[in-house]
Amino acid sequence: MKQQYKSYQQTCEFLAECVSKYPDLIKTESIGKTWEGRDIMLATISLNVENADLKPAMLFTGTIHAREWIGNELAVSFIDYLLMNYSSNPKVLKTLTKNTLYIVPCLNPDGFEYSKKHFSFWRKNRRDNGDGTFGVDLNRNFSVGYQKSKDTASNVYSGPNPFSEPETLAMKKFVDGKDNITIALDYHSQGNVFFPAHKFNHEEEIEGTDLNTLCANMNYEIKKVTGRRYGIHRGKPPTKLISGSGREYYYSRGIMAAVVEVGTRNIPDFMQNMQESIDENIPALLRTLGEAQNYSKQAPSRVSNFHIENYTADEVTLSWDYEYNKDVFFQIFRNTEDKESCTEANLIAETYNTFFTDIQLQSGTNYHYFIRCVNNLTKVKSPFAPKVKIKTLLDADEFSKTIFSAPNEIGYVASKLLETNRKHFGLNSLFIGVNENKGTSYGVMQFDLDGIPENAIIKDVRISLYPLNRVNVKIEKFGEWSMSIVDKETVSELYDYEQIHNANLLETLGQTIPSEKLTQGIWCHWDLNSTEKNVLQTQLREKKVLFKISGPTELPEGRDSQMMMFDLGYGNFGGGIHYRPSIDIKYTIPSQEIVIDVLKTTSISVDKIEQDELICGFDANNEKIYGLMEFDLSPLPNPEETIITDSYIQIKNKSATKTKEDIRYNVEFVDVDDATCDSIKNRDRIEFIGYEVSRADLQKNKTHKFIFDHYSKLALEDVHRENKIAKFVIRPTYSDIKNHIVKWHGKDSNNSVKLVVNYIKRRKEPIESISNLSLSLENDKIKLNWSNPNNEDFRGVYVVRNRFHIPKNHLDGDKIYAGKDNYTYDDFGNKNIAKYYSVFAYDNVPNYSEPLYVAHLKKEDDVAQI
Ligand SMILES: [Zn+2]
């Protein structure tokens, strides 16, 4: 028989049947009566259900909005799943042994019945407002952030006062009466997105990492079932935050709360879509139910002061504070993407220490670190400390640029909006895809490549866009979004739909984003492969690169929209600088070659020192003869800007005494004061130069290249920096032969000894920090002032905010400003919340200086240097 949506009555009957079959596992109660006299049913599920209230609990609420049937349907399926599996599935058994589920399948029975029987699109309850209109939006009728409204006909009418409705009042009474609830999930449709709770601040909360991770870990389970990825979005400035909702009420009581918006339609095709939504959410619900204990009183407390101790191009050391407890160890998780899960898959360390060094990382790459602790006896885990973000240092020869489009070079062009397409540039959002109002719509982004040398060698490229579809942008499961590099010759006007539509594409990036992965609140990235990088390379000469972003162009029968919205970062509704689309390019530049003739050669044996000769071997007493080569590095540019990419010493041999012994010769990089036999014998060896010449080589080749390894190149840079003469010794390896000599061409020969150095010009060290950092309040906003360093390599400052620890990396927090000014306002920060701001100065590489930080609302000195 075809499965169809359960009615309120069928749900009540289902619950009664469960109780009669599994009285030890489930009990039910009516927590209140609706205006029309229906019972609001709540089920409690736990192993030995009579003890349920003693265990940490998760609260599930469904169908608070009448037309969002998924809530009731998922609740019925989840209850059924738990009861059917507790005896056969160890995970279900374990979860129900330690945790309790409180579940209200349908919080709005009157509205739900009205929606099922009469008007499917009904949202509110069925209160008679007395003026001919009906209904209150129950999810605006809770007390936290409640906003009074007079428009009773509105779909979001909040009711005469908070908790005026029997449904919300029943929830309040139930939740207020239970102190064991630690997690609350409120199920809605549609959008395939999680909305974690907020405190009406556009700032991180101490539980922010927990809330995001709870959702990300649900995503981890969802992905295993259907491959889908839900969005995770707390709402961001200046978007109006939802007020008077259940979620914020639960959160205000210390409960981790989130709304889950499921599916792409309120009332989808059951077999095709609803079953999929249910199946993907059940493992996610089970995982979250198991987390209830980790937010309870049994849980260890969270780690404090989790921060970056130091970092290089390939290592990061983290440290944290914790009151010693021999039973508690720490788990560290690492992600490279935004809002990813913390599960077995990315657990990188377990330790009893309060520090950890992560190794073998990529240079110039973003990493996110998470930490929680585990009680080894009870296995109960702590909440997460606020996460730490970092970008590792660039390698010595690398440069990077993050480029944003100018406002007039980013926007969308739509086939049905030919007259207004020009106005879509630099304003609010990119709409990409197809719908009935806009027709086909493409995103257009042009980036200025002026700051990158034409001959740059591109190493890595990442394009980033921030998707933000809210309810008015539907994404069903079809189509994909792709990015192409456009031949600029074929586009003279970015605003011209026809030109963009018909543009010649140089390359469409192989990576596309299918609809089920494209979701709001999580950055979308395109990482270019080598063919695509080569195409971008050709655009360096053009000084600009133009991208076209395409989505689906056709709609199936009965669908009206498949349109994705991305933040553009400009305009009143744009999210600001933090959310602007960008292209990140990591590159190096071709090296230059310099040939340095030898300054001096000396041959040194026990009884003889000969200038301008280069001889090595053994004398009549089997004592070694050494050849010393000295080079003056002053033809190289300023050592602070010289990165040696390759180097070798080239020597030619004149003659050698014949022998059958396997003698080998090698070159050492040495530190000696003078050319005497004693100092050579007692030399400080810096490094072997990586090549050795055998007797056979001497016979075969006349020219020999002694090639520097990585360490020798660094040593050569050091000698250059110290303004010293670089000295090398050529010598035979051990042998007991006598009277064996190799003559090399010395200083006076035509083919004299050479040091060949390939190098690039690049600053090694950051410029000096900013100074005079101060904080003030101006027009009710926090304002930061500072003095920029007076250095010709100064390119700008980067300002970052963090509520929990001093940012020691420019990515470790919310970006407030990047540019050349000497002040900025924090447009979104709450002036009543304590926090840190760090300001980094950067050069053209960029290398970031040591930060200066300022604490807002802290007792310490206002400004202090780290
Ligand atoms: Zn809803």
Per-residue pLDDT of 246-255, as tens digits, reads 999 999 999 9
What's the rounded mean pLDDT across residues 613-635?
A: 92
Instruction: Determine the distance separating the centroid of ligand 1 and the alpha carbon of 264, expressed in angstroms.
Output: 12
Return d(Cα 574, Cα 569) in angstroms, integer: 4
The percent of residues in the chain predicted with pLDDT above 70, rounded, is 96
Instruction: Determine the distance separating the centroid of ligand 1 and the alpha carbon of 189, expressed in angstroms.
Output: 6
Confidence of residue 226 (pLDDT cuts 50, 70, 90): very high
What's the rounded mean pLDDT across residues 850-856?
A: 95
Instruction: Determine the distance separating the centroid of ligand 1 and the alpha carbon of 348, expressed in angstroms.
Output: 38
Return d(Cα 468, Cα 522) in angstroms, integer: 8
Q: For residue 100, report the phi and psi dihedrals to the nearest 5 degrees.
A: -125, 145
Q: What is the mean pLDDT of the chain?
A: 92
Return d(Cα 604, Cα 625) in angstroms, integer: 6
Whole-number pLDDT of residue 520: 80
For the chain, the 3-state helix, strand and coil shares in percent, each to the nearest 5, are 20, 35, 45
3-state secondary structure of 17: helix
Instruction: Determine the distance separating the centroid of ligand 1 and the alpha carbon of 283, expressed in angstroms.
Output: 22
Which of the residue ranges 391-405, 502-516, 727-741 would you say has the lowest mean pLDDT? Answer: 727-741
Instruction: Determine the distance separating the centroid of ligand 1 and the alpha carbon of 246, expressed in angstroms.
Output: 11
Instruction: Determine the distance separating the centroid of ligand 1 and the alpha carbon of 471, expressed in angstroms.
Output: 10
Cβ neighbours of residue 698 under 8 Å, at least 6 residues apart?
Answer: 653, 656, 665, 742
Yes or no: say if 510 and 544 are a contact pair by the CB < 8 Å rule: no
pTM here is 0.91
Instruction: Determine the distance separating the centroid of ligand 1 and the alpha carbon of 580, expressed in angstroms.
Output: 29
Flag whether pLDDT at 864 surpasses 60. no
Q: Tens of pLDDT along 17-44? A: 999 999 999 999 999 999 999 999 999 9
Instruction: Determine the distance separating the centroid of ligand 1 and the alpha carbon of 501, expressed in angstroms.
Output: 37
Calculate the CA dihedral of residues 10, 16, 17, 21 and round it to 10 degrees.
Answer: 160
Instruction: Determine the distance separating the centroid of ligand 1 and the alpha carbon of 134, expressed in angstroms.
Output: 18
What's the rounded mean pLDDT across residues 144-165?
A: 96
Instruction: Determine the distance separating the centroid of ligand 1 and the alpha carbon of 257, expressed in angstroms.
Output: 15
Instruction: Determine the distance separating the centroid of ligand 1 and the alpha carbon of 470, expressed in angstroms.
Output: 12
Flag whether pLDDT at 583 surpasses 70. yes
For residue 634, the tally of other CB atoms under 10 A from its CB is 12
Pairing verdict, β 181-188 and 57-62: parallel
582 phi-psi bin (left φ>0, alpha ψ -120 to 50, beta other):
beta
For residue 496, the tally of other CB atoms under 10 A from its CB is 17
Instruction: Determine the distance separating the centroid of ligand 1 and the alpha carbon of 138, expressed in angstroms.
Output: 10
Q: Which two tokens stand for residue 421?
A: 């397409």
Confidence of residue 394 (pLDDT cuts 50, 70, 90): very high
Instruction: Determine the distance separating the centroid of ligand 1 and the alpha carbon of 508, expressed in angstroms.
Output: 38
Q: Tens of pLDDT along 249-290? A: 999 999 999 999 998 776 777 767 789 999 999 999 999 999
3-state secondary structure of 215: helix
